[in-house]
Amino acid sequence: MTQLWDFSGGIHPPEHKDISTARPIRNAGVPDYLVLPLQQHIGDPAEAIVEVGERVLKGQKIADVKTGMGVPVHAPTSGMIESIADFPVPHPSGMADRCITLKPDGEDQWCQRSPVTDYRSLERDQVLKMIRDAGISGMGGAGFPTNIKLRPPRDRKVSTLILNGAECEPYITADDMTMREKADEVVAGLKIMAWILRPERCVIGIEDNKPEAIAALQKATEGTQTEIAVVPTKYPSGGEKQLIQILTGMEVPSGGIPADIGVMCQNIGTAVAVAQAVSDGTPLISRIVTITGEAVREPGNFETLIGTPIEHLLEQAGVNQNAVSRLVLGGPMMGYTLTTEAVPVIKTTNCVIAATASELPAPPPEQPCIRCGQCAEACPMELLPQQLFWHAKATEFEKAEHLNLFDCIECGACSYVCPSSIPLVQYYRFAKGEIRAQQAEQLKADRARERFEARQARLEREQQEKELRRQERAKAAAEAQAKKKAEAEKAAAEGEAVDERAAKSALVEQALARKKAKTEASQSPAPSAAPAEDKPDIEALEKQLSQAQSKLETMQGMLDDAKAQQADNLEKLERAVAKNHDRVQRAEEALSEAREKLAAGPTESQPTH
């Protein structure tokens, strides 16, 4: 007898499971069209690898994930690809997403399959690749790609492999019926997973309200070391964390994964899919779905092709359209309502409840919380649902987080027992969403601040560099001036020293020249005006240069701003800056030319002063 532990809290809602266990699993058949969402699990969406109008065979890969985490999608039957477009998909928001629609041709013609007779002769990685190529993702919860889950980090050795057959949610019997009718395949899948992981212990956990399934599995595991653990019926014993606690007495650390404590949970349906993928070479193209509720005449479980519209399934179960008041995908505790029955069955779809108004009535209006604490008694995570509710309602998210809001698994036990019928889970979802939005906002703001600060720093640096260059230029100019002066003085001194006579004669010559020039000037005033005009010319040039420089600076600044904002007119501004740059250069050249000229001019006329 396997030792069992208890988890705190939990509730005992009416089970309503007998509604859908009276009939054996039926085949839902091939509907008129199949809608295959490209994203059926967490991770990255697959990309279509077929064209509209292409004929595909049953089991043919029609979409795959090229980069990132995900698994391929296969054609559930042979037919024509009708479209690749947005369709309503199963999602609480009722959103539409990219889907491939397939028009079955009725021939159900298989593609080439490659079954493996003895997987033990293969490498483990080869088997994992087979599981991936079969498009298998977890068929219970969020649909995590199974091949990735089966390859935990090296330092996380899985010592206990748990097959979760608890199926604690009311109404749902898909796993129950699978275990009853496909016990051998369940065990075969478990064996393959155990061969990959090599755990010390394999346990199948089943709630004690499924005696037929327990008997079937006990028979199928006879003579093996696999334990069948019969756990007391209590919602949510099938929650991953709760089942681990029941079967091992250990708790998954907050924020961690079961592999952190050497445990892994796999779903019953996933085990069957793994067995079929490895020994038959069959990809995941169908699953067992429970169709139940008082609004269907023949409730039960259906072997359903992935992509089958819910509408088709409801017809198979004999739905009374007028009686359906709400359509729940999943169980009554954690499932979500559908806006339309056109959404398809996907890899994680386990149950559809077509409920009448009296079956799942609208809850009475919310009353004030009387702090009765029933919610805390029911919480399987040992949270304080009531305090979380106060803080969520008051938008005191910091306090809600302090009370471990993010450990909430949204099982709905608190809302179920609340005498004031407060939709507690909805408040927690709101708070979680707000906190996530705030965190995203904060991240964005931090990035923007970093960008701004980087820009400020750059501008400052540039300003300093500019200042430095200006100082260098000024220094260089001063030096040049000083040098020139020194040279001139030296030249003058040398000239005097070397040959006084020559100097004298030069002076004479200069005097003559001046005289000559004077006479010339008196004759024609125009040429003599030229040197006199040199001075105002330089001033104008200097002004021109500074104008050009300031314009260049403005343009440069504008360009920088544009670059920071990634504006569209970047190219234009760059051109403008280049143009201004040229203009400044030209002005500088003109000025220096003029300066040289001026410098040459006065030396000639110096002696006149």
Partner 1 sequence: MAFVQQSSPHAHSARPTSRVMLWVLIAALPGLLAQTLFFGWGNLINVVFCVAVAIASEAALLKLRKKPVAFFIRDNTAAVTGLLLGLSLPQFAPWWVSAVAVISAIVVAKQLYGGLGSNPFNPAMVGYALVLVSFPVAMTTNWAEPATLWDGAPGFGETLATIASGQQTAVDGWTMATPLDEYKHKITTHTAAEVLNHPTFGEGIAKGWEWVNAAFLAGGLLLIGLRIISWHIPAGFLGGLIVMSLAFGNNADLYAPLSLHLLAGGTMLGAFFIATDPVSAATSHQGKLIYGAGIGILIYLIRTWGNYPDAVAFSVLLMNFAVPFIDHYTPPRTYGHHKARRGVPGSQG
Minimum CB distance to partner 1 smaller for 189 or for 258: 258
For residues 139 and 513, what is the distance between their CA atoms, to the nearest angstrom? 109
Question: 219 and 181 in contact (C-beta within 8 Å)?
Answer: no
Site residues for partner 1, 519-548, by CB under 8 A, read none
Letter for the amino acid at 378? A
Cβ at position 148, least distance to partner 1 in Å: 22
Q: How are strands ordered across the β-sheet holding 351-355?
A: 26-27, 300-305, 286-292, 351-355, 326-329, 336-337
| Burial classification of residue 342, based on how many CB atoms lie within 10 Å of its CB (0-12 exposed, 13-18 middle, 19 or more buried) | middle
Site residues for partner 1, 294-333, by CB under 8 A, read 321-322, 324-328, 330, 332-333
Size of the site for partner 1 (CB under 8 A): 75
Cβ at position 406, least distance to partner 1 in Å: 10
For residues 387 and 414, what is the distance between their CA atoms, to the nearest angstrom? 12
Which positions from 393 to 422 touch partner 1 by CB under 8 A, shown as an x/- string? -----xx-xxxx--x--x-x--xxxxxxx-
Position among 376, 431, 548, 584 found at the interface with partner 1 (CB under 8 A): 376
Cβ at position 460, least distance to partner 1 in Å: 36
Site residues for partner 1, 230-269, by CB under 8 A, read 241, 245, 251-256
Minimum CB distance to partner 1 smaller for 439 or for 605: 439
Position among 44, 47, 97, 377 found at the interface with partner 1 (CB under 8 A): 377
Minimum CB distance to partner 1 smaller for 170 or for 262: 170
Position among 24, 249, 363, 527 found at the interface with partner 1 (CB under 8 A): 363
Position among 11, 71, 99, 246 found at the interface with partner 1 (CB under 8 A): 11
Cβ at position 419, least distance to partner 1 in Å: 4
Other CB atoms within a 10 A radius of the CB of residue 455 amount to 15
Single out the segment in contact with partner 1 by CB under 8 A; choices: 7-15, 267-275, 455-463, 570-578: 7-15
Position among 4, 111, 342, 360 found at the interface with partner 1 (CB under 8 A): 360
Q: Do the bridges between strand 300-305 and strand 286-292 make them parallel or antiparallel, or are there none, so unpaired?
A: antiparallel
368 binds partner 1 per the rule CB under 8 A: yes
Site residues for partner 1, 436-475, by CB under 8 A, read none
Minimum CB distance to partner 1 smaller for 372 or for 457: 372
> Tokens 């919310």 appear where?
366
Sorted by sequence, the CB contacts under 8 Å of residue 189 that are 6+ apart come out as: 270, 271, 272, 273, 274, 275
Minimum CB distance to partner 1 smaller for 75 or for 329: 329
Question: 205 and 212 in contact (C-beta within 8 Å)?
Answer: no
- CA nearest to 392, candidates 437, 425, 359: 425
Three-point CA angle 204, 209, 213, nearest 5°: 50
Question: 286 and 305 in contact (C-beta within 8 Å)?
Answer: yes
425 binds partner 1 per the rule CB under 8 A: yes
Single out the segment in contact with partner 1 by CB under 8 A; choices: 9-17, 51-59, 519-527, 564-572: 9-17
Sorted by sequence, the CB contacts under 8 Å of residue 353 that are 6+ apart come out as: 171, 292, 293, 326, 327, 328, 331, 332, 335, 360
Cβ at position 351, least distance to partner 1 in Å: 12
Other CB atoms within a 10 A radius of the CB of residue 449 amount to 10
Site residues for partner 1, 162-191, by CB under 8 A, read 170
Position among 22, 85, 95, 372 found at the interface with partner 1 (CB under 8 A): 372
Position among 83, 337, 528, 592 found at the interface with partner 1 (CB under 8 A): 337
For residues 369 and 372, what is the distance between their CA atoms, to the nearest angstrom? 8
Three-point CA angle 104, 105, 111, nearest 5°: 85
